[in-house]
Amino acid sequence: MPGETPLLPVAEARARLLARAGEQPKPIETVPIIRAAGRVLAADLLATRTQPPFAMSSMDGYAVRAADCRPGEPLRTLGESAAGHPFEGALQPGTAIRIFTGAKLPDGADSVLIQEEARAENGFVTPANAVKPGQFIRRAGRDFTAGETGLSAGTRLTPSHIALAAAMNHASVPVYRRPRIALLATGDELALPGPDVPPDATMASNLIGLSALVEAQGGVVIDLGIARDNEASLNAAVDRAIADRADLLVTIGGASVGDYDLVRPVLAARGAMLDFYRIAMRPGKPLNFGSLGSILYLGLPGNPVSALVCGTLFLVPLVLALQASARAGAERTEAAFLGRDLPANDRREDYLRATLSTDAAGRLIATPFDDQDSSLLSVLARAEALVIRAPGAPAAKPGETCRILRL
């Protein structure tokens, strides 16, 4: 339409959002390593020790010198080395030391004869085969060495990261504080799940789904509940967000331009600055982003699928960016092949709910559902990915390549 504000491309909207999040303060706190899973490291983590701290055996058997280990020629056994109980002394020529997995390799030994290839009797061990120097030995520092960077700042800690940090002898780690995300549903028609829901009510499912989305990305949810379609109710909810020290206020619904869409005028009256408010995407065109003082603001559409798709595209990277996660701006899409015909697309980037499968050639196939209405949560719940269609994309046939975002 003449004079209409152009729709903002999805990529530009996400770039603006991440840039603003990058400017926000990110407090750091120290937490015990056992409670650090899912948190984002605020500094590089260096190893304080070497792992393994010494050369050790990777198998049960006999520590030997490879040059002494000849098939059928017995070696005298001097003693044993077990994990935590090393052999005191050095290996002598023509001898062997009984050794167990994880035990320190005795001085003078350069390989391990595994017990399956040895016959032990009367204080001697006879090799069945020759061994090579270094065989079945884990060298000192093979995993990491003292002073080495084991984990980088910006890493969101998985169980494997936690184990590595503990192995590097870190009892606690510096992490970014979890961002506080205030979630507010809006609308007179909404009700929370429970036994006394009016028959004509609309369930506030978006509030529940987005809470799970935020928590899965490490955010702390401030549940503001439901604001009714009046200024007093909306202002009271915003007051609670400020009092609870929210880093981000997320409103659901009420962000368009209808008579009952009051979120933008209420926030504007409080001095909010709006960065953008219309996105060239489907579902989810009426998406708002800006700030209210020190609090960032994200206004999501009220349609259930629109809210959750926009949450996946914008809220997820925003919550990660507020923790300085290295994954915030990472490319999350991948290539696949279409499983059905698609018509030509219009000027908005389309996100089609789809299932995933593998064909006989091992190719990843994405098949969009027939009905893509933005109210259908049952379709979204069955979807495994979003098929992304660029603005103006021509009609496509099965087997053509596409980009997908896994759900």
CA dist 320 and 44 (Å) reads 18
Give the residue numbers spanning the domain of 154: 29-51+143-176
Residue 3 domain-assigned?
no
**Residue 1: which pLDDT band, with cuts at 50, 70 and 90?**
very low
Torsion of CA 221, 23, 289, 262, to 10 degrees: 70
Alpha-carbon span 161 to 177, nearest angstrom: 18
Would you tell me how many other CB atoms lie within 10 Å of the CB of residue 16? 14
Residues 70 and 190 placed together within one structural domain of the fold: no
- Domain assignment present for residue 299? The answer is yes
> Could you tell me if residue 126 is inside a domain?
yes
Could you tell me if 241 and 345 lie in one domain?
no
In the chain, % of residues over pLDDT 90: 92
Is a pLDDT exceeding 50 seen at residue 86? Answer: yes
Tell me which of 321, 352, 378 is where a domain ends: 321
Residue 160 confidence (pLDDT) above 70: yes
Q: Which of 176, 194, 228 is the last residue of a domain?
A: 176
Residues 190 and 298 in one domain: yes
pLDDT at residue 260, rounded to an integer: 54
In-domain check, residue 373: yes
Count how many domains the chain has.
Answer: 4
Please indicate, yes or no, whether residues 198 and 230 belong to a single structural domain of this protein.
Answer: yes
pLDDT per position as a tens digit, 350-376: 999 999 999 999 999 999 999 999 899
pLDDT at residue 3 is higher than 70: no
CB neighbour list of residue 145: distance below 8 Å, 6 or more residues apart: 47, 50, 51
CATH of the domain at 309: 3.40.980.10
DSSP state of 288: E
> 296 and 354, same structural domain?
no
Least confident of 138-142, 253-257, 331-335: 253-257
Distances (CA, A) of 103 to 5, 15, 88, 130, 159: 71, 53, 12, 22, 26
**Band of residue 246 on the pLDDT scale cut at 50, 70, 90:** very high
Structural domain ending residue among the three candidates 288, 321, 354: 321
In a domain, 376, yes or no: yes
Q: In terms of domains, do 311 and 193 share one?
A: yes
Task: Burial-class residue 38 by CB neighbours within 10 Å (0-12, 13-18, 19+).
Answer: middle
User: Are 65 and 95 contained in the same domain?
Assistant: yes
Does some domain include residue 307?
A: yes
Helix H, strand E, coil C: the string for 218-264 is CCEEEEEEEECCCHHHHHHHHHHHHHCCCCEEEEECCCCCCCCCCHH
Compute the average pLDDT of residues 15-19: 96
Within 10 angstroms of residue 171's Cβ, the number of other Cβ atoms is 9
Please report, for residues 96, 328, 348, the alpha-carbon distance to residue 157 in angstroms, rounded to integers and kept in the order given.
Answer: 44, 14, 36
Q: What is the pLDDT of residues 270-298, one digit of tens each?
A: 999 999 988 999 998 889 999 999 999 99
For the stretch 203-226, pLDDT in tens is 999 999 999 999 999 999 999 999
Q: For residue 47, what is the domain's CATH number?
A: 3.90.105.10
Q: Across residues 69-91, what is the average pLDDT?
A: 96
CATH number at residue 72: 2.170.190.11
Token output for 340? 């059905």
Q: Taking a C-beta distance cutoff of 8 angstroms, is the pair 97, 80 a contact?
A: yes
* Cα radius of gyration (the chain): 30
Quick one: 153 and 266 in the same domain?
no
Q: In whole angstroms, what is the distance from residue 84 CA to residue 171 CA?
A: 22
Q: What distances in angstroms separate CA 187 from CA 190, 231, 261, 302, 361, one per listed residue?
A: 6, 12, 9, 9, 49
Same domain? For 72 and 86 the reply is yes
What is the pLDDT averaged over residues 39-49?
Answer: 98
Start-to-end CA distance of the chain, whole Å, equals: 34
Quick check: is 328 in a domain? no
Q: HSE of 385 in the Cβ direction (CA atoms, 13 Å)?
A: 24
SS3 content of the chain, % helix, strand, coil (to 5): 20, 35, 45
Residue 145 buriedness (CB in 10 A; 0-12 / 13-18 / 19+): middle
Whether residues 43 and 166 share a domain: the answer is yes
Cross-strand bridge partners of residue 51: 144
What percentage of the chain reaches a pLDDT higher than 70?
Answer: 97
- In whole angstroms, give the CA distance from residue 267 to residue 257: 14
What's the pLDDT band for 258 if we cut at 50, 70, 90?
Answer: low
pLDDT (0 to 100) of residue 367? 98
> What ranges make up the beta strands (E) of 115-259?
118-121, 124-127, 137-138, 149-151, 172-176, 180-186, 190-191, 202-203, 220-227, 248-252
Residue 360: the pLDDT is: 95
Are residues 191 and 254 part of one domain? yes
Q: Does residue 5 lie in a domain region?
A: no
Q: Which residues pair with 183 in a beta bridge?
A: 223, 250
Q: Region 18-26: what's the mean pLDDT?
A: 96
Which DSSP string do the residues of 46-73 spell out, in sequence order?
Answer: E-SS-BSSS-EESSSEEEE-GGG--TT-
Q: Which neighbouring-strand residues pair with 57?
A: 137
Residue 118 pLDDT grade (very low, low, confident, very high; cuts 50, 70, 90): very high
Stretch 260-269: mean pLDDT, rounded? 86
Q: Are 125 and 63 in contact (CB under 8 A)?
A: no
We report the CATH number of the domain holding residue 391 as 2.40.340.10
Average of per-residue pLDDT across 159-183: 98
Does 82 share its domain with 95? yes
